[in-house]
Chains A and B, each alone.
Chain A
Amino acid sequence: MTRILSSDKLDNCVARWRKAGNKVFGPVKKETTSSYAAVESAAEFDLGLILPDRSVKELFFPQTEPMMRYSIKKQAIDTEDFQPPIEKRIIFGVRPCDASGLAIDDPLFGWDYKDDFWFKRRNNSVIITIACTKSDDFCMCTSLKLAPDSTKGADVMLRPLQNGKGWQVEELTDRGREAVKEIADLLQDSAEPTAPNAMVPEKFNLDACVAWLRNPENFESSFWKEISMRCIGCGSCTFLCPTCHCFDFQDEGDTYNGIRRKNWDSCSFALFTMHTSGHNPRSTQSARWRQRIMHKFNYFPGKFNVNSCSGCGRCSRQCPVDMGITETLQAISTLQP
């Protein structure tokens, strides 16, 4: 016997969590695109999506975030910091790849400077993951040694029941236990079996790829030019990625008054590494694509012992020219290290 949450009780849960002072988020399809968005009732959720078009990252690291207000006066410069939000949040129906993405980025946002905006949100959010029973041609979590039911980054794990009428509930962290406690009387005991996980075939040999990437001789390989020839240099893959985390500071306002903002930036952009002198160390698109792959599967694991990819497949799924990490790593898998 395990405890289950039945689908028809979900709306009660949302109401309960909201009443307890939480803002509730989940997968929502609006117009022609989908994301994790705030809801007032469970009816707004679209739990049938394989995964939302946009990753859960943006609830923790938004595209634009005001950091500081400045005002330059004759004698002094006044600054006023914007404070990270402290609202309590329940994020329901997060896909395992998205939740893993958050866990992958945690060490990055805290290794030297501790990013308060990230961690305040992380500490005030409960991630309720739902295991995947469906996948598409782009899903590749298993190639990254994750799975359709990975618990990485999750506070609560829900496994869909075979009858499609609810989920088996498993609390994983204190935050998760707290959130489940608020709805404890809405759960029931049941022996109903869970649905099988989505089948996600392994698409490439990650270890072989990493070995090839770590060989310094391959840095200048002609492979990079060939594989990235059709890259048009947009930021779609990086901005939809649940782990890409690069940002830029921008001062908006006039000479004397304004707001300093932290905005997403992308290694795909030519401007990303442009020096003031006009020199650009990554002057070609192939050098930029190489950087993206090297960063995710060589430099990032070198520093944090984990690949900066959770296999959601958005980079390939949404690429205007049908490129992506899958194709590149599949090609690398076939090369001699």
Chain B
Amino acid sequence: MSTQETYKTKVKELLSSGKVKMVIGYKAGTTADRRRPHFMRTPEEVDQLVLDSACITNLSGYLLSEGLLSDGKEIAVFLKPDGIRSINILAAEAQLQSNQVVVLGFDINGSEISALQGERASDFQALTSSSNEARLHKQQHPESARLEQMTPAERFAYWEDAFSRCIKCYACRQACPMCYCRRCIVDNNQPQWVNTSSHTLGNFEWNIVRAFHLAGRCVECGNCGRACPVNIPLGLLNMKMTDEVLQSFNHYPGVSETQEPVLASFKKNDSETFIL
């Protein structure tokens, strides 16, 4: 039986037994290569479930939809390793209880998918820890390498041009599982801390605020970059922040839910070299 069919059976069981009140997965989209988030509450809705190599969106952010988890009932969600790490971070940041989330783990290898064994995010610790190791030795993205070679002035010009396309639709924020603030700093308008205008200053303010707030928290799932309607290479910023946090604090986010949020916790022996 294919991974998709095995999971269909499992999901039907989860729903018909009443173990979970909802399963969040994927279904077919408008075009052959698109998948849509699919919310299943009855076994009948499971027939539309699709699980294949086009299921790349990190669905963990939906768990924080207002009121969804407040009744204490469990929800199952299809997650790749990046999504499982998101659950750990959200739990570490007290946004959800990981024992309310049933992980339906899978991974994509080229055009193939495989099931990952485990039920709670903590069951996948071997996997999340090994991805830490893999990230340390990951070859630099060619575009990142190109940016590193630039002079600061050239790099500034690169981002000025990229950000000039920003239309402040906040799709990057809304698509990000880590951007869960009920009221984002840019929506605080008394006073208006961050300009809502799409001029050079406003675009830098927003994109830098977004990237900074994700330092040590981003799982590099790519939801932001895919959501951006004007294709700003947001992933490059997040990659850079991940590299910096890894080098400075040896912190790789989402390994476990007991991992302390790196920039929100204080340790006496923290290096102070970053303080100017």
A binding-site residues for B, Cβ under 8 Å: 31-33, 53-54, 63-64, 137-138, 229-230, 232-236, 238-240, 248, 250-252, 261, 263-264, 266, 269-271, 284, 316, 318, 320-324, 326-327
Contact = CB atoms under 8 A, between A and B. Distances in A.
A250 to B, nearest CB: 6
Nearest to A30: B165
Interface of B: 29-31, 34-37, 39, 57, 61-62, 66, 161-162, 165, 167-171, 173-175, 183, 187, 189, 192, 195-199, 202, 223, 226-227, 229-231, 233
B201 to A, nearest CB: 9
B170 A234 contact: yes
A236 B229 contact: yes
Given A137-B30, A230-B36, A252-B195, A270 B187 contact: yes
B230 A63 contact: no
A232 B61 contact: yes
A89 to B, nearest CB: 20
B232 to A, nearest CB: 8
Given A63-B167, A232-B175, A322 B36 contact: yes
Nearest to B66: A284
Nearest to B29: A322
A9 B34 CA distance: 41
A235 B173 CA distance: 11
B62 to A, nearest CB: 8
Given A234-B174, A236-B229, A322-B29, A64 B169 contact: no
A6 to B, nearest CB: 33
A263 B227 contact: no
B227 A64 contact: no
A269 B183 CA distance: 11
A31 B165 CA distance: 10
A137 B31 contact: yes
Given A54-B230, A235-B171, A230 B195 contact: no
B203 to A, nearest CB: 10
Q: Name the residue in B62, B170, B202 with the highest tally of chain A Cβ atoms < 10 Å from its Cβ.
A: B170
Contacts of A271: 183, 187, 189
Contact of A316 (B30, B35, B187, B233): B30
Given A33-B231, A63-B167, A235-B171, 7 more contacts: A234-B171, A250-B195, A250-B197, A263-B196, A320-B175, A322-B30, A322-B34
A234 B196 contact: no
B188 to A, nearest CB: 9
A234 B231 contact: no
Given A229-B39, A232-B174, A234-B171, A32 B197 contact: no
A135 B266 CA distance: 56
User: What are the 3 A-B residue pairs with the smallest beta carbon separation, nearest first?
Assistant: A320-B227, A234-B171, A235-B169
Contacts of A252: 192, 195, 197
Contacts of B37: 229-230, 321
Contacts of A269: 170, 187
Contacts of A323: 36
Contacts of B29: 322
B84 to A, nearest CB: 20
Contacts of A316: 30
Q: Name the residue in A33, A63, A284, A326 with the highest tally of chain B Cβ atoms < 10 Å from its Cβ.
A: A63
19 contacts: A32-B231, A53-B229, A53-B230, A63-B197, A64-B202, A138-B30, A230-B39, A232-B175, A234-B174, A235-B167, A238-B169, A240-B169, A252-B192, A263-B197, A270-B183, A271-B187, A316-B30, A322-B35, A322-B36
